[in-house]
Structure 1
Amino acid sequence: MPLNHAAPATPSPSRRHALATFGATAVLGACAAVAPGPADPVLRVEASPAPGGQAPFRHIATSVGRLAVQDLPPLPGAAATGRQTLVLWPSILADHGIYRAQIPVWRQRHRVIVIDGPGHGASGPAPAGFSMADCADAMVGILDALGVDGPVIPVGTSWGGLVGGEFALAYPRRTRALVMLNTPVFVAPQGPSLSDRFVVWGARWLHGTTLYSDGVARAFFLPSTRARGGAQLDAFHRHLRDADGAALALATRSVLLDRAPLAPRLAGIEVPTLFVAGEHDGMYPLGALRQAAASLPHGRFVALPTAHISAVDAPEGVTRLVAAFIDTLS
């Protein structure tokens, strides 16, 4: 079912059911985390309430849309020694909620800036398809809007890891270090698979269904994580159910189908880099990721017993691993 950039016609109910049935198994193993010109200047910053009494989102206009940002200062009493600014960007088909366990701990010492990608979470839609470099430019615009001019540490999962890699390549003086979690730095030489295309199509037409969200969850999380359930998994499913399908599909297509490979350029990332992969990630083979990460000049590769979203499957392990990595920078 080839896709193009034009808006797809609404399928008939019978065809929609047939496609959903046909793609059910594909989506279980294919949901993955990965245009305009240069980034436009930030146009405005608008504050809006965040749920649960958290710090408010700031909606900052960038070339990839109005992105929701939370700027979380270190908690009161945090030591100034070794303080860094972390910039978090999540996976496709997820929002900042995947960092639910990490944010409170990292804030004990560091400033944490959290960004929802276009078409995800509280962010608005992208105006058009985009590249990972466009997202990196958007990150720079957000930092400028927040008055952050010193070097930062991008911490990205999947899509977010790709954005962080592009940021480190394009803005080395603004990058202190880099954390790439579960990041698909390569692309298939034969091009996107049928199952990849189904993931994008499903993001448009099936995102509100249990079929689709359960399929994404099977691809993203360990069986034990799904069995555990809880507020974080509930929020993950709710995010997909409540998403704007057109905006979600555009972003998913840009990341999953249209992205350029990052692996051939990893050798150009000069900052210390922590590269984390999941031993049970069925979408991206551990050996291929290990081989790609070996080209990082100052890289450290760590495999965790997780699926695709290590921050959720192994929340304490990821929290400690990243904190310890940051401590080595002091």
Structure 2
Amino acid sequence: MDRYVETVLGRIRLRVVGSGPAMLFWPSLLMDGTLWSAQAAHFKDRFQVVLVDPPGHGGSDLLTQPFTFEQCAEVILQIADSLQAGTVHVIGNSWGGMIGGTFAALHPDRIGIAVLMNATASPAGRRQRFEYGLLTRSAQLLGGIRGPLKGPVRDAFLGPTAKRERPEVVATVNELAAKVNIRSGMHAVTSVVPNRPDQRALFGKIRTPVLVVAGAEDKTFPVAETEEMADAIPGARFVVLEQSAHLAALESPEQVNALIDDFLVDQGIRGSG
């Protein structure tokens, strides 16, 4: 069921299924909540699954200016309030992983567990700022992420295993990236890449149970960078998924579901039913 919530970053579309403790999923840049379709199908019998179209993406309001990570954390808080959920489990990929950590650090009384996937706590390096700047300038000229830009997006998001063995995953990435409004998307890219804050000290304040997941084939945030984020979080568990790159939940859904299941059980969380 689609729901809409007014937030500090505009009206946000949610896809809400199931019942039980709230489990919120926030995707990567250029993706919408459907990135987590396999997780929604798996967890909806035990949890209220909330798939977020992040600001400026999918059915959410377009962005008219850059945002801060604190504002994104406020969006999660406002979603939780709209669901009348005292706490939410937060699962995020890339942008969502960064914001999941921000939320856990700033709102410790409102979070259950956090699963931070294919993410970083470090500011963007020179190479990443250059590559994403080139991508957004080219997308402006072409009026969107299409044609020759599909290749760079696929290379940033998907590894050789998915490109070789999972054509449906490649098609999904192409489809979702092509839907992004380029002006709105530029504000998101600017906020998450060149303007990204160094959150390593902030993440040292996290006290909730955290699982950090890296993809062995992830070129955007290589294993060492994601492991550095895990090292910044007290008591965080760190796992590397082989044959997976930057969109692990889409590339390796069964393994991701099993990792989340195991982590929930280890924390004594079983959901309803």
When the two structures are superposed, what TM-score results if normalisation uses the length of structure 1? 0.75
User: Match of 1:100, SS?
Assistant: helix
1:160 corresponding residue in structure 2: 96
1:64 corresponding residue in structure 2: 9
Give the partner amino acid of 1:109: R
- Does 1:271 pair with 2:271? no
- Does 1:308 pair with 2:254? no
Q: How far off its partner does 1:106 sit? A: 1.2
Give the partner amino acid of 2:132: D
- Change in 2 beyond 3 A, CA 1:201/1:264: farther
User: Match of 1:193, SS?
Assistant: helix
User: Match of 1:177, SS?
Assistant: strand
1:247 corresponding residue in structure 2: 184
When the two structures are superposed, what TM-score results if normalisation uses the length of structure 2? 0.90
1:90, 1:157 within 8 Å by CA — same for their partners in 2?
yes
- Does 1:98 pair with 2:43? no
Aligned Cα root-mean-square deviation (Å): 1.9
2:117 corresponding residue in structure 1: 181
2:264 corresponding residue in structure 1: 326
Separation (CA, whole Å) in 2 of partners of 1:151 and 1:167: 11
User: Which of residues 186, 197, 216 in structure 1 aligns to 2:153?
Assistant: 216
Q: How far off its partner does 1:115 sit? A: 0.7
Separation (CA, whole Å) in 2 of partners of 1:192 and 1:279: 18
2:18 corresponding residue in structure 1: 73
- Change in 2 beyond 3 A, CA 1:72/1:295: same
- Mean Cα deviation higher: 228-237 or 156-165: 228-237
2:136, 2:186 within 8 Å by CA — same for their partners in 1?
yes
Separation (CA, whole Å) in 1 of partners of 2:128 and 2:151: 22
1:258 corresponding residue in structure 2: 195
**Structure with greater Cα Rg:** 1
User: Match of 1:101, SS?
Assistant: helix
Give the partner amino acid of 2:266: T
1:97, 1:236 within 8 Å by CA — same for their partners in 2?
no
Separation (CA, whole Å) in 1 of partners of 2:15 and 2:47: 14
Unmatched segments (≥5 aa) in structure 2: 269-273
Q: How far off its partner does 1:310 sit? A: 1.1
Separation (CA, whole Å) in 2 of partners of 1:93 and 1:169: 25
1:317 corresponding residue in structure 2: 255
Separation (CA, whole Å) in 1 of partners of 2:129 and 2:83: 40
- Mean Cα deviation higher: 60-69 or 129-138: 60-69
* Residue correspondences, number: 266
Give the partner amino acid of 1:60: V
State the identity %.
27
Give the partner amino acid of 1:315: P
2:102, 2:203 within 8 Å by CA — same for their partners in 1?
no
Give the partner amino acid of 1:152: V
Q: How does 1:138-157 map to 2 (within 5 A)?
A: 138-148=75-85, 150-157=86-93
Unmatched segments (≥5 aa) in structure 1: 1-54, 75-82
